[in-house]
């Protein structure tokens, strides 16, 4: 390969030698959630987990075992549970931050994935396979939220989120909020 005749100039946004980089405003999509938002998600997911592990465990396991498309089953169940809990909260006069729906759905998908592993409904070879499964299930959970009666998640919200992702406004290397498994390498 032929070397260029001269090096291209360094862009102005890269600090030059001797310059001190000025701090930039943090993007709202990479900020950690506030304590209030975390509490809202915890309130919703606590109710969901109580149902999953106390009242509905046998029914859930049976549903997971008969599901033809396991990620779709996990996602639809997760999205429906989160949507229903959020709607019940709002009917009681509570508020739930729209941006936290995906976080609550992610935590619920994680719990269902743990059940899938524990009950040996599907065996995962490695963490990458688990991450791919959870990502696919999360897409179904979000779609389930869009199709539900919950007004907080609609096509405009999803389009806005996707536009920010495609524009690069979302930091895909940000630390996960809830401790979701992180892909160590891209397949």
Name the domain count of the chain. Answer: 1
- Tens-place pLDDT, residues 96-142: 887 788 889 999 999 999 999 999 999 999 999 999 999 999 989 98
Question: Residue 53: its pLDDT value, please?
Answer: 92
Among residues 139, 152, 171, 181, the alpha carbon closest in space to that of 28 is found at 171
Indicate whether 119 belongs to any domain.
yes
Task: Tell me how far apart the terminal alpha carbons of the chain are, to the nearest angstrom.
Answer: 28
Band (pLDDT 50/70/90 cuts) for residue 95 is confident
**3-state DSSP call for residue 101?**
helix
Task: Supply the Cα-derived Rg of the chain in whole angstroms.
Answer: 21
Q: Is residue 174 a part of any domain in this protein?
A: no
User: Whole-structure pTM over 0.85, yes or no?
Assistant: no
**Residue 62 belongs to domain spanning:** 35-167
pLDDT-derived band at 147 (thresholds 50, 70, 90) equals: confident
pLDDT for the residue numbered 40? 83
């Amino acid at each position: 390969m032929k070397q260029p005749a001269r090096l291209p100039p360094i862009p102005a946004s890269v600090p030059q030698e001797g310059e001190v980089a000025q701090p930039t405003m943090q993007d709202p999509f990479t900020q950690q959630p506030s304590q209030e938002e975390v509490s809202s998600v915890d309130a919703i997911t606590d109710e969901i987990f109580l149902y999953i592990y106390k009242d509905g465990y046998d029914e859930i396991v049976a549903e997971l075992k008969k599901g033809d498309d396991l990620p779709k089953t996990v996602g639809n169940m997760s999205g429906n549970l989160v949507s229903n809990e959020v709607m019940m909260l709002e009917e009681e006069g509570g508020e739930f931050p729209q941006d936290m729906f995906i976080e609550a759905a992610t935590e619920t998908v994680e719990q269902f994935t743990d059940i899938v592993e524990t009950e040996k409904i599907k065996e995962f070879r490695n963490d990458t396979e688990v991450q791919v499964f959870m990502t696919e299930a999360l897409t179904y959970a979000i779609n389930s939220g869009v199709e539900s009666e919950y007004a907080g998640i609609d096509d405009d919200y999803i389009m806005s989120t996707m536009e920010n992702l495609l524009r690069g406004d979302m930091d895909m290397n940000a630390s996960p909020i809830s401790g979701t498994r992180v892909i160590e390498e891209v397949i």
